[in-house]
C-alpha cells in the first residue's frame, strides 16, 4: 500500500516520539489531499510490520489521530480517515511545497523589493582571514564591564522595574548621560527630549525616512555611497539623486544644481570617514551645506557612525553642532564603539520630529531593552566608555599604520590608496587593469575573504576599488592577510 511503502517515514534518532512521527505524517497527507475522507488505513499489525516498529507504537499513533478527530474508528471494520473532512484535491510536491510544511513562496501576491538584497548574513569560511567592510574588533569589547553592570542590576531591589514597559523614547538615564557625552565630545548642546534611543543607525535611518519621505520625493545621496541607506530611502518610494564624492567629501555644486531643478526633501551624508571612500567633509563644505539646507529647506540626515575613531588630529565637529535652523537629523550608535551585536543607537533632532519618530518606533518595537540601556548609561557615567575609546583608538591607529605599510611594501606597484585620518577601513584601488572580482575569488580559495568591488557605485558593480577593514584584525592577521592578497594578485596578473 502506498501509505506504508512511500508516505510514512520514521527516524528513531529524532527527539520526536515515533508514534507522533507516524500520526503527524498521516495528518500531513490528509491535509494535502493524498488521503481522502473515508479512506481506510492499514491495521496496526500491518503498519507496524511495514515500519518495523512495535504494534503498541502504531496503536498510540492511531489513538492520537482519533483524539484529534482525524480518523473514525468502526468496530470490526477498521480505521478510516474522518468522513466529515473537506475533500481536498491532491497537491503536487513541487515549486511551492516544502518538507517542513511551510510553502516556499506565498500564494498571495507580494511586491518585489525595489533593490534586491540578501536577507541573511553569510559568514565567511571559519578558517578565513577577513578584511571586512570596517568593523571594530569584538575581542576588545568591554564585555566584562557590561556584565558587571548587569550583575549590579541583578542585586538591586528595583530591578523588576526595568523588566516592565518603560519610556518609548528610551531610558531616561541613558538619554541624560548621552546628552552629556555628546556635549563633551561633539559640541552638541541637546537635552534628553531631543534624543530617541534606537537599535543602531539602520533603525534610526529607517524611522527618519518613514516619517519624512513620501512617494517620488527627491533624496540626494553620495556616489559611491552606503547601499543600505539608499535602500531605506527607496523603500519609501522616494527618488534618489546621486552626487559625486571627491577628496573633500560630497560635491556641493552638484547638490545645488539638483536643488535648482527640483524640490529636495532630504540629503544623506557621512561627513566623517565617508563610507566607503573614508574621506572627511571639509570645514568649508560643511558650512556651505548648512547654508544650502536653509536656502532650499531640505533636511540633512547626518550619519556619524564612527566619529569617535580619529587618528590624525581632533575630529571636526558634526554638522549638527553648528545647526541653528533645525535642519540636521544626527544619528549614531554604540555598535562601533563596543561591538555590532550591542544594538544601541540614537537620533538627535528637534523635539517635534523626535515625537513623531517615537510614535513610529512604538509601532515597530514598543521600546528598547531597558536593562541594556541602563547598563550603557552607567558605562557612560562611570567613564568606562571614554577609557575604552582611548584604548581602542591607540590599537586601531597602530593597525591602520601596519596595514598601510604592508600594502605599500607588498603591493606598492599594484594598488593605490590614501592613508585615512580615522575610521576602520582603507579605500584602495587596484591598478594595471587588475580585476577586483577575480582577485576576491582567488583570495577566497587561498583562505582570505575580501571585497570583490561590488556595491559601492550606483551604476558600476565591477569597479576596481575595494574597502579593506583593518580594525578587527591584529598585526599577525594583517600580515597573513596581505601576504595572501599579494599571492592572489600575482595569480590573476
Structure confidence by residue, pLDDT tens digits, 57-103: 999 999 999 998 899 999 889 999 998 887 777 665 555 555 455 66
Mean pLDDT for 328-337 is: 90
For residues 10-25, one letter each, b for 16 or more C-beta atoms within 10 angstroms of the residue's C-beta and e for the rest, the string is eeeeeeeebbebbbbb
Alpha helices in 187-338 (DSSP H): 201-212, 227-235, 252-261, 283-296
Distance from C-alpha of 468 to C-alpha of 473, rounded to nearest angstrom: 11
Average pLDDT over residues 8-28: 88
Residue that has been written with the C-alpha cell 553620495 in this structure: 222
**Does pLDDT of 244 surpass 90?**
yes
- pLDDT per residue as tens digits for the range 449-483: 999 998 899 887 667 999 999 999 999 999 999 99
Distance of CA 58 to the CA centre of its chain: 47
Give yes or no for residue 372 having a pLDDT over 90.
Answer: no
Q: What is the DSSP code (8-state) at residue 122? A: -
**What confidence tens digit (pLDDT) does each residue in 389-441 have?**
999 999 999 999 999 999 999 998 999 999 999 999 999 999 999 999 999 99
| The pLDDT of residue 364 | 86
pTM of this prediction? 0.81
Give the three-class secondary structure for 415: strand
Chain-wide mean pLDDT for the chain? 88
Return the CATH fold of 146-386: 3.40.640
Tell me if 2-81 shares its fold with 146-386. no
Q: Are 485 and 449 in contact (CB under 8 A)?
A: no
Q: Find, among 410, 444, 406, the residue nearest to 426 by Cα.
A: 406
Q: Residue 329 forms beta bridges with which residues?
A: 301
How much is the average pLDDT of 125-131?
A: 80
Please name the CATH architecture into which domain 2-81 falls: Orthogonal Bundle (1.10)
CB atoms closer than 10 angstroms to residue 329: 27
Cα dihedral 270, 271, 275, 277, rounded to 10, equals 150
Q: Give mean pLDDT, residues 8-24.
A: 88
Q: Which residues contact 105 (CB under 8 A, 6 or more apart)?
A: 95, 96
* Cα–Cα nearest to 405, from 419, 394, 392: 419
Identify the band that residue 219 occupies on the pLDDT scale cut at 50, 70 and 90: very high
To the nearest whole percent, how much of the chain has pLDDT over 70?
89
Question: What is the fold of 129-138+389-492?
Answer: 3.90.1150
pLDDT tens readout for residues 268-288: 999 989 999 999 998 889 999
pLDDT at 307: 86
Q: Is 255 left (phi over 0), alpha (psi -120 to 50) or beta?
A: alpha
Outline where DSSP puts E strands in 281-410: 299-303, 328-333, 345-348
- Assign 19 a pLDDT band (cuts: 50, 70, 90): very high
For residue 41, list its beta bridge partners: 79
> What local confidence, expressed as pLDDT, does residue 147 receive?
86
264-269/299-303 β-pairing: parallel
Check residue 229 and give its pLDDT. 95
Provide the pLDDT confidence category of residue 116 given band limits of 50, 70 and 90: very low
Which has the closest alpha carbon to 457: 335, 294, 251, 275? 275
Beta bridge partners of 79: 41, 73
Residue 208: predicted pLDDT: 97
Name the packing angle between helices 384-411 and 475-492 (round to 10°): 30
**Cα-Cα-Cα-Cα dihedral sign, residues 427, 433, 439, 440:** positive
With bands split at pLDDT 50, 70 and 90, how would you rate the model's confidence at 380?
very high
Every domain of the chain and the residues it spans: 2-81, 129-138+389-492, 146-386
Amino acid at each position: 500500500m502506498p501509505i506504508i511503502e512511500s508516505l510514512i517515514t520514521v527516524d528513531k534518532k529524532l527527539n520526536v516520539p515515533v508514534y507522533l512521527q507516524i500520526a503527524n505524517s498521516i495528518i500531513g497527507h490528509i491535509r494535502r489531499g493524498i488521503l481522502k475522507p473515508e479512506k481506510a488505513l492499514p491495521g496496526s499489525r500491518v503498519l507496524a510490520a511495514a515500519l518495523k516498529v512495535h504494534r503498541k507504537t502504531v496503536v498510540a499513533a492511531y489513538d492520537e489521530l482519533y483524539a484529534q478527530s482525524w480518523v473514525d474508528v468502526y468496530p470490526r471494520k477498521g480505521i478510516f480517515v474522518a468522513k466529515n473532512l473537506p475533500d481536498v484535491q491532491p497537491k503536487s510536491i513541487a515549486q511551492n511545497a516544502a518538507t517542513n510544511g511551510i510553502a516556499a513562496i506565498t500564494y498571495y501576491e507580494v511586491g518585489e523589493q525595489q533593490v534586491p538584497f540578501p536577507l541573511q548574513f553569510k559568514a565567511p569560511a571559519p578558517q578565513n582571514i577577513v578584511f571586512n567592510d570596517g568593523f571594530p574588533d569584538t575581542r576588545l569589547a568591554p564585555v566584562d564591564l557590561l556584565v558587571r553592570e548587569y550583575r549590579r542590576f541583578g542585586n538591586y531591589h528595583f530591578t523588576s522595574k526595568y523588566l516592565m514597559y518603560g519610556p518609548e523614547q528610551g531610558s531616561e538615564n541613558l538619554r541624560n548621560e548621552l546628552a552629556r557625552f555628546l556635549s563633551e565630545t561633539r559640541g552638541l548642546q541637546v537635552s534628553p527630549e531631543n534624543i530617541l534611543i534606537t537599535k543602531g543607525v539602520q533603525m534610526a535611518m529607517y524611522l527618519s525616512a518613514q516619517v519624512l519621505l513620501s512617494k517620488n520625493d527627491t533624496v540626494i545621496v553620495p556616489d559611491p555611497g552606503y547601499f543600505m541607506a539608499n535602500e531605506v530611502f527607496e523603500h519609501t518610494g522616494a527618488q534618489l539623486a546621486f552626487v559625486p564624492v571627491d577628496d573633500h567629501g560630497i560635491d556641493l555644486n552638484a547638490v545645488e544644481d539638483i536643488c535648482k531643478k527640483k524640490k529636495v526633501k532630504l540629503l544623506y551624508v557621512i561627513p566623517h570617514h565617508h563610507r566607503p571612500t573614508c574621506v572627511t567633509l571639509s570645514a568649508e563644505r560643511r558650512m556651505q551645506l548648512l547654508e544650502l539646507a536653509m536656502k532650499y529647506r531640505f533636511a540633512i540626515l547626518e550619519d556619524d557612525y564612527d566619529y569617535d575613531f580619529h587618528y590624525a588630529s581632533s575630529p571636526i565637529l558634526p554638522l549638527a553642532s553648528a545647526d541653528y535652523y533645525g535642519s540636521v537629523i544626527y544619528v549614531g550608535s554604540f555598535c562601533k564603539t563596543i561591538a555590532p551585536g550591542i544594538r544601541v543607537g540614537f537620533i538627535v533632532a528637534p523635539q517635534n520630529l523626535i515625537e513623531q519618530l517615537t510614535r513610529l518606533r512604538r509601532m515597530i518595537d514598543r521600546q528598547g531593552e531597558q536593562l541594556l540601556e541602563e547598563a550603557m548609561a552607567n558605562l557612560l557615567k562611570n567613564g568606562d566608555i571614554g577609557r575604552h575609546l582611548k584604548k581602542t583608538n591607540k590599537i586601531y591607529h597602530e593597525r591602520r599604520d601596519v596595514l598601510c605599510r604592508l600594502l605599500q611594501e607588498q603591493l606598492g606597484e599594484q594598488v593605490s590608496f590614501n592613508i585615512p585620518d580615522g575610521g576602520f577601513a582603507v579605500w584602495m584601488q587596484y591598478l594595471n587593469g587588475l580585476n577586483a572580482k577575480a582577485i576576491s575569488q582567488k583570495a577566497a580559495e587561498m583562505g582570505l575573504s575580501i571585497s570583490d568591488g561590488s556595491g559601492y557605485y550606483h551604476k558600476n558593480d565591477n569597479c576596481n576599488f575595494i574597502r579593506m577593514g583593518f580594525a578587527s584584525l591584529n598585526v599577525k592577521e594583517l600580515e597573513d592577510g596581505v601576504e595572501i592578497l599579494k599571492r592572489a594578485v600575482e595569480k590573476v596578473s
